[in-house]
Amino acid sequence: MPPLVKYFGDEVFCPGGPFNSDFMDSSLMLSPSPFVDVFCPRRKRARISAPFIQREQEPASRKIVPSIDVLPDECLFEVFARLPSIRDRSACACVSKRWLMLQSSIRGSEFASTPACCGSVTATKVASATEKDTTKAALAVKDANGERVLPATIEVDGGDEEEEAADCDAGHLTRSLQGKKATDVRLAAISVGAAKLGGLGKLLIRGSNAIRGVTDVGLSAIARGCPSLRVLSLWNLSSVSDKSICEIAEGCHLLEKLDLCHCPNVSDKALLAIAAKCPNLSSVSLESCPLIGNEGLPAIGRSCLNLRSISIKDCPLVGDQGIAGLVASAAALSRIKLQGVNISDVSLAVIGHYGKSVAELSFTGLQHVGERGFWALGNAHGLNKLRTLHVSSCNGMTDMGLEAVGVGCPVLKHLCLRRCCLLSDSGLRAFARTVVALENLLLEECNWITQTGVLDSFSNCKANLKSLSLVKCVGINDVDDGLSPLPLCASLHSLTIRGCSGFGSRGVAVVGKVCPNLQNVDFSGVSGLRDSDLLSLTENCRAGLTKLNLNGCVNLTDDAIIRLVMFHGGSLRLLNLGGCRSLTDESLKVILANCPLLQELNMSGCSITDQGFFSFNSSNKGLLPDLQILSLSGCSQVSEKSLQVLGYLSGSLVGLNLQHCNLISSKAVGWLGERMWGCDILS
């Protein structure tokens, strides 16, 4: 650089003053050429008239992102795999959805054995690499509906490594996802965060999000992060296939209960994987799974020695080979429920022979099972522990089959027969002679069963029958009680005759003479019941009625109810008089004053008014201390004046029905709701 020369006088290079001698003033340094450096001081400040142009901001897409987020998934996977602490993993999963899904893709066995202190420091550096704190960043992690999922699921907390490992294996948590809340993102959050909160033990998914529902990705995340899972229930999941169920089998060896309902893409391959990897399986329920057939069920029976319950409904590919192979292998099986499967008499014969531990059987809609199947079921003499039998819509249950069941099941206590059209009085009599321990009998839509057959069964019954229910049996008609001596069934405590159109006043009179120890009576829908019939029944019931259902008995009047309360008011706990439109305030006053143990009262549709409640005032408000449910639906003459009286019941009442009470306004109901805050009010 040439030396600097000071010029004075007329030879000044820039007139107006000398050069500034301050070499540090960079504003005076000019570079007119790459070879000459000249100092040129300005005489005064320059006037700038041109507009100031601000520099445009960079678009959002060009913003600088944290450097660690630029790494590919493979590198982030290696970073996360070196975080042994559950607390650190949860903190990293809160950063973004991408980090969450990466965390959920790591199995427990893939985490490196890094010391706890190193893992904590590494996690701190990873989490602090973002612009926001991880706790605030968690707000950005949302599911398909835009709802936060991580803060409610993942908890960042300190703790000892040994305690975390113990909690991970405990399996205390239960998670239920329904409808639009069932997404893969939520399942991933549960997978990452459940370990710190005690470990996931039970997962139920009902339905799925219509846009981004549950798929194999979400269930695979559960399989990797929740080894303590014991109960898995999946309903209406069309996007779930064998892949995720196999992942569950690979990662959740403690699985005890599997429930698959309306899963059209799950096949025998999934059941084979469960059988091979989950030896603790004790309960399997399959419903509407069209791809499941005869291969997976025998494998479960052979491998899962603790299997105790099997339920199969509407699986068309399941046949004799699958059911027979399962029952023959599962020695501990105690509960079998079959509905809508294509099995024949062979399966029932195998169940009758190998079901030595079976205590409960349920058959529904077995169209290919005939009379020989139920005959073989009883005559195989293998059901020595069977206590409960439900048969519905099976034409194979005939008189011969019912008799064989009575012979082959010596400890049978509960029998339920629905829509068995070929069953008649002859089979019921034969069954009553052979059965020994029967306590509960329900007959529904067995139209060939008559009242004579039922009475004859009482005469021949060797068991102590405690409960009898006759529902919609057309053959139950009134008979003349003077034709033959009536049997005595002193053990019967509960009687239900509902929807039997031929049952009337003479039948009620017979019941009163045959069953003197009744405590629970249900005559709902017996429109022909009169006051005299009810009185004959109540006078013969020596034990004291506790539950009485007379719903729809339109011919009853106040006289019958007053006499009833006088006899059994001290023991009544449930009284249903709904639809008895002839009952007035007289019945209500007697009930309120003489039934101290009453817990449920239904007077819907009765002709009661406010006058009936006025007798129930503050001076005697302790008369009904246990009343929990009161129904006044359709009582059009009950007004707001009665609400003050109902307020006295606020200590015990939990349910109040005021529907179709036109004289009670919504404002009055709101006032009552504030006073009775613990009661559900229908209006």
pLDDT tens readout for residues 387-419: 999 999 999 999 999 999 999 999 999 999 999
Same domain membership, residue 351 and residue 249:
no
Answer with the one of 238, 255, 272 that is the final residue of a domain.
255
Whether residue 246 sits in one domain with residue 392:
no
Residue 358 included in any domain: yes
Q: Considering 518, 548, 564, which residue would you say is the last residue of a domain?
A: 518
Highest mean pLDDT (candidates 164-178, 201-215, 234-248): 234-248
In 3D space, the residue among 370, 329, 366 whose CA is nearest the CA of residue 350 turns out to be 329
User: Is the pLDDT assigned to residue 151 strictly greater than 80?
Assistant: no
Domain boundary among 483, 518, 553: 518
With a cut of 70, say whether residue 258 has pLDDT above it.
yes
* H helix or E strand, kind and range, residue 312: strand 309-313
d(CA 473, CA 383): 29
Please report whether residue 261 resides in a domain.
no
Residues 102 and 18 in one domain: no
In the predicted model, is pLDDT for residue 4 greater than 50?
no
- Averaged pLDDT, 111-125: 45
214, part of any domain: yes
Q: Residues with Cβ < 8 Å from 566, sequence gap 6 or more?
A: 590, 594
pLDDT the model gives residue 488? 84
For residues 17 and 166, state if they share a domain.
no
CB-based contact 369:345 (threshold 8 Å): yes
- Choose among 66, 21, 54: nearest CA to 39: 21
The whole-number average pLDDT for the span 15-38 is 45
Q: What pLDDT does 537 receive?
A: 87
Determine, yes or no, domain membership for 661: no
Q: Assess whether 350 and 487 both reside in one domain.
A: yes
Residue 31 has pLDDT above 70, yes or no: no
How does pLDDT run across 566-604, given as a tens digit for each residue?
Answer: 999 999 999 999 999 999 999 999 998 889 899 999 999
Comparing 223-227, 229-233, 355-359, 642-646, which segment has the lowest mean pLDDT? 642-646
Q: Which CATH number goes with the domain that contains 425?
A: 3.80.10.10
In a domain, 27, yes or no: yes
Inform me whether the pLDDT recorded for 236 exceeds 90: yes
The residues near 255 (Cβ < 8 Å, ≥ 6 apart) are 229, 230, 231, 232, 248, 249, 274, 278, 280, 281
| Cβ–Cβ under 8 Å, residues 24 and 18 | no
Range of the domain at 510: 344-518
240 with 388, same domain: the answer is no
Residue range 337-349, pLDDT digits in tens: 999 999 999 999 9
CB count in 10 Å sphere of residue 582: 16
State how beta strands 200-206 and 283-287 pair.
unpaired
User: If you search the block for the tokens 């030879």, which residue do you land on?
Assistant: 11
Could you tell me if 35 and 146 lie in one domain?
no
Which residues is 656 bridged to in the sheet? 630, 681
Tell me the average pLDDT across 44-68: 52
Same domain, 144 and 23: no
Q: Are residues 488 and 349 in the same domain?
A: yes
Query: Could you tell me the pLDDT band of residue 429, with boundaries at 50, 70 and 90?
Result: very high
Q: pTM for this one?
A: 0.79
Average pLDDT, the chain: 81
Residue 379 and residue 488 in one domain: yes
Range in 89-93, 588-592, 677-681 the model is least confident about: 89-93
Q: Provide the 3-class DSSP secondary structure of residue 494.
A: strand
Give CA–CA dist 47/49, Å, rounded.
6
| Beta-ladder partners of 469 | 442, 496
Specify the pLDDT at position 638.
Answer: 92
Q: Is residue 562 part of a domain?
A: no
- How far is CA 16 from each of CA 30, 44, 643, rounded to the nearest angstrom? 18, 11, 104
In this structure, the strands spanning 440-444 and 414-418 are parallel
Structurally, how many domains does the chain consist of?
Answer: 3
- Beta pairing class for 36-39 and 29-33: antiparallel
pLDDT of residue 126: 44
Contacts 24+ apart (CB under 8 A), 343-346: 343/318, 343/319, 343/368, 343/369, 344/320, 344/368, 344/369, 344/373, 345/369, 345/370, 345/372, 345/373, 345/376, 345/396, 346/320, 346/373
Question: How many Cβ atoms from other residues are within 10 Å of residue 305's Cβ?
Answer: 14
Provide the sign of the torsion angle of the four alpha carbons 424, 426, 430, 432, taken in this order. Answer: positive
| 545 within some domain | no
| Residues belonging to the chain | 683
Spatial separation of the C-alpha atoms in residues 390 and 337, rounded to whole Å:
9
- The three-point CA angle 311-227-98 to 5° equals 110
Domain co-membership, 391 together with 482 = yes
498 domain residue, yes or no: yes
Q: Which stretch of 75-84, 233-242, 656-665 has the lowest confidence by average pLDDT? A: 75-84
Question: 143 and 88, same structural domain?
Answer: yes
pLDDT over 90 (residue 110): no
Residue 422 has pLDDT above 90, yes or no: yes
Q: Rounded to whole angstroms, how far apart are CA atoms 261 and 238?
A: 10
Minimum mean pLDDT range among 55-64, 86-95, 135-144, 501-510: 135-144
d(CA 396, CA 423): 9
Task: Give 368-426 as a DSSP string.
Answer: T--HHHHHHHHHT---TT--EEEEES-TT--HHHHHHHHHH-TT--EEEEES-TT-BHH
